[in-house]
Structure 1
Amino acid sequence: MSRQPPNAAILVSFPNADAIVDPLASFILKAQKEAVEKKGRFTIALSGGSLPKMLTGLVGNPAVKWDKWQVFYVDERAVPLDHADSNHLSCTNYLFSKVPIPQDNIHTLDTTLLNDLEELSDAYEKLLIREFAQKDAARFPVFDLILLGMGPDGHTASLFHGHELLAEEDRWIACLEDSPKPPPKRITFTYPVINHAARVVFVVTGKEKAEMLSQVLDNPEAGLPPSRVKPVFPGQLYWFVDDAAAAAVQYARTPFKI
């Protein structure tokens, strides 16, 4: 992982979605190794959508130190954990049900609070405070790695174009009852949390995202939600995309290397 200037995104394109799986696993393992050597734990935040299926390269990999992982969700739908819309269920089906990660290391919603979004988001923020503030004394948590996706409409996490949450500067976790994409009730990391991560990786595949990806990377002044992800130096930003998603992008590509 080479050093880059502040806020400079690194775009890596692969022939197809399947070709991303193993390089992404290698990238995650490199981040894990550095974090565990430095502080004895690896903090990672996952998204839903198509991302969980891209994590299958970690299954059966002996280099993964599952007992060192502390897993959070970048955003989550206010539904039971076994609901079809749950990001946790998707991650469990593709990854966690197939690996020996301690269940206590996976930090999920408090489903007893689903009827009160403010309490739900406050409770999840307290999980982050317990993991980060008491250990790192930071204004915002500093994740070792945050993995994001991007919808065809240009949303990332549960941050949607034109929504008031794009301007949130203080809270770690925010809630919304009016998501333009169902289900409407969700909680999400805010930009200060995302942008304080050591590494942020977008994983974007499919021709249906080509136009939006070009807008995000080639026209950042448009202010689409992914364009607002600008990690604080020395944080690093990567885009792992397939050629179909990158078909219209003019932004310079970088060869993949660890």
Structure 2
Amino acid sequence: MVQKTILPDKNTLIETATDFIINKIKSSIETTDRCTIALAGGSTPKPIYEAIAKTDLPWEKIHVFWGDERYVLPTHPDSNEKMAREAWLNKVDIPVSNIHPMPTNGNNAEADAQKHNQEILDFFGISSGFPSFDIILLGMGDDGHTASLFPHTKALQEFDRIITVGNRGESIRLTFTIPLINQAKCVIFLVAGNSKQEALKQVFSETGNPKQYPSKFINPQGELIWFLDESATQGLFHS
């Protein structure tokens, strides 16, 4: 199921998405007694994480992962983990064992991708295949990339693994793969700003090329929710 919710501005998008995500976390816990959520980086999710941190939730039942990460130390200003810890995780009483960051402390991204691949398999208690995260949060770049799945890169061709190396020029990342994202119960895109218009047009076009606009590859078995602001969607849809 694909659902598009268009909000008048970014602040309203953040407020609406926050309520939806919190309710989705609660629903997952009610259904399975836990919630597995994979976080996105970027400026849009940060106030959402700050709002979640102020919410009364059973933190011991929430397991936090990341959909992608720059291959930098977790203390680096560009680290998605650092941002999420400062905005949310350091402010709540969540068990350390419930936080599952991507390993970026080594000097071998490929080895660390394989390590995290195994960590996720072990967590979900499976030996192979693709587990189903309850919630995966995604953003979309002006070029149509999502997570660290960039246009015309090798990561787009990885269909056997959970985690792979994503590259953006000289910048090395670890990232969820397309089939892992598509196994999720709920994928939530958060997209704001007029710089996203062309990419959105291609992603929602029947003729758009997913290798050029990788967000088009995302078609999960569960829900696909797009939270968009009007400046990103001018001329694309009718509310």
TM-score, with normalisation over the residues of structure 1?
Answer: 0.85
CA distance in 2, matches of 1:138, 1:19: 40
- C-alpha distance in 1 between matches for 2:41 and 2:181: 15
Unaligned 5+ segments in structure 2 are none
Are 1:229 and 2:221 counterparts? no
Match of 2:40 among 35, 38, 47: 47
Residue equivalent to 2:140? 150
Residue 220 to residue 46, structure 1, CA distance change in 2 (3 Å): farther
Structure 1: gaps of 5 or more residues? 254-258
Aligned length: 236
Q: Does residue 179 of the first structure (1) align with residue 172 of the second (2)?
A: no
Q: Give, in angstroms, the shift of residue 138 of structure 1.
A: 7.0
The whole-number CA distance in structure 2 between the counterparts of 1:138 and 1:120 is: 18
- 2:190 counterpart letter in structure 1: V
Specify the alignment match of 1:129 in structure 2. 121
Question: Residues 177-256 of structure 1 correspond to what in structure 2 (within 5 A)?
Answer: 178-180=167-169, 184-219=171-206, 221-223=208-210, 224-232=213-221, 235-250=222-237, 253=239
- Asked if 2 retains the 8 angstrom alpha-carbon contact of 1:45 and 1:145, the reply is yes
Alpha-carbon shift at residue 78 of structure 1 (Å): 0.8
The residue aligned with 1:256 is: none
Q: Distance in 1 between matches of 2:207 and 2:32?
A: 35
Q: TM-score, normalised by structure 2?
A: 0.91
1:86 has 2:43 as partner: no
Is contact 2:40-2:139 (8 Å) kept?
Answer: yes
Q: Which has the higher contact order (CA 8 A, sep 6+)?
A: 1
Please tell me whether the aligned partners of residues 14 and 44 of structure 2 are also in contact (alpha carbons under 8 angstroms): no
| Counterparts in 2 of 1:36 and 1:138: CA distance versus 1, 3 Å | farther
My pick for the range that moved more, 213-222 or 36-45, is: 213-222
Inter-partner Cα distance in structure 2 for 1:165 and 1:109 = 16
Identity over aligned residues, as a percent?
Answer: 36
1:65-108 deviation per Cα after TM superposition (whole angstroms, max 9, x unaligned): 22111111100111100101111111122222333322321111
Aligned residue type for 1:203? L
**Matched position secondary structure for 2:174:** strand
